Amino acid sequence: MCAAGLALCAGLASPDSAAAQAPPGGSFNEPPVDSVADRDAEGEAIGSERSTWSVLAGTRSRRARIIFGLWALHPFEAQFPEVDSTQGFGFVAGGWFGATFINSYDLRSFIAGVERNWADGRLGVARFGVGYRAGLITGYDERLMAVAEDVPVLPFAGILGWLDIGPLALDLYYVYQAISLETSVRF
C-alpha cells in the first residue's frame, strides 16, 4: 500500500490532500504493481501466514512491454570482452515473456518463460524492482556448455532488476555467464 493510502486510512490525510494524490505520470498512471512487499502469490495481504515457497515464487509481473533493444556482456568469459548488441526483440505480457535474438556465438536464439517479481517500489516517477525469469532457450551449442551439444532446448533461471520511467523500461538480467541489458516500451 502506498504512503498516501496509509495516511488516508489512518485519518492523517483527506482525499483532497497532496499526500493522497497519485504521482505524476500522465497517461501512465497505473494501479500499484503487485509486490511481495504488499501481497503474496495468492493475493493474501502481508501478515497472513506465508510459506517460504510463496515468497520465493514471487508475484506475476504486470509490466507489459515490447523489448526492442538487447545487449549482452560476458564478464566471466575472456572470449567476449565487449558489450554486444544482440539484434533482437521480444515481448512481456501477463507474466510471460518471449524473445528472439542473435546470441554471442552468432546463432539465432529463441527464449520463452515466466517473469515474476520479488519486490518493487516507486521513487517519484520512477518504478523499480527485482525478480526473476525462468524458462527455456534455444540456439546454443557445446561452446556454451557440454550438454548443449546434445540438448537443443535448455532450461534457465536468472535474476532480474528493472527500472521504469514513464513508458520506457530498462531491465538488467543475469543468467549463467551473461548479463543482459534490455530496453523496452511499456503498454
- Write down the pLDDT at residue 86: 82
Q: Does domain 61-186 have CATH number 2.40.160.20?
A: yes
Q: In 3-state terms, what secondary structure has residue 61?
A: coil
126: pLDDT strictly greater than 80: yes
Of all residues in the chain, the percent with pLDDT exceeding 70 is: 73
- Which set of grid coordinates corresponds to residue 4? 498516501
DSSP 68-128: EEEEEE-TT-TT--S-EE---EEEEETTEEEEEEE-TTS-EEEEEEEEEEEEEEEETTEEE
165: pLDDT strictly greater than 90: yes
List the one residue out of 67, 115, 111, 110 whose CA is nearest residue 94.
Answer: 115
CA dist., res. 89 & res. 116, Å (int): 20
Question: Count of CB atoms within 10 A of residue 169's CB?
Answer: 20
- Write down the pLDDT at residue 49: 66
CA dist., res. 1 & res. 35, Å (int): 9
pLDDT in tens, 84-114: 778 899 999 999 999 999 988 889 999 999 9
Task: Using pLDDT thresholds of 50, 70 and 90, give the confidence band for residue 29.
Answer: very low
- Write down the pLDDT at residue 78: 72
- Write down the pLDDT at residue 38: 52
Q: How far is CA 142 from the centre of its chain?
A: 28
pLDDT in tens, 42-63: 455 555 566 888 888 999 999 9
Q: Which residue carries 561452446 as its cell?
A: 143
Contact 160, 171 (CB under 8 A): yes
pTM for the structure as a whole: 0.70
- Write down the pLDDT at residue 144: 84
Question: Count of CB atoms within 10 A of residue 60's CB?
Answer: 15
The DSSP letter of residue 161 is: E
Task: Using pLDDT thresholds of 50, 70 and 90, give the confidence band for residue 155.
Answer: very high
- Write down the pLDDT at residue 24: 45
Q: How far is CA 56 from the centre of its chain?
A: 15
- Over residues 171-187, mean pLDDT: 92
- Write down the pLDDT at residue 174: 94
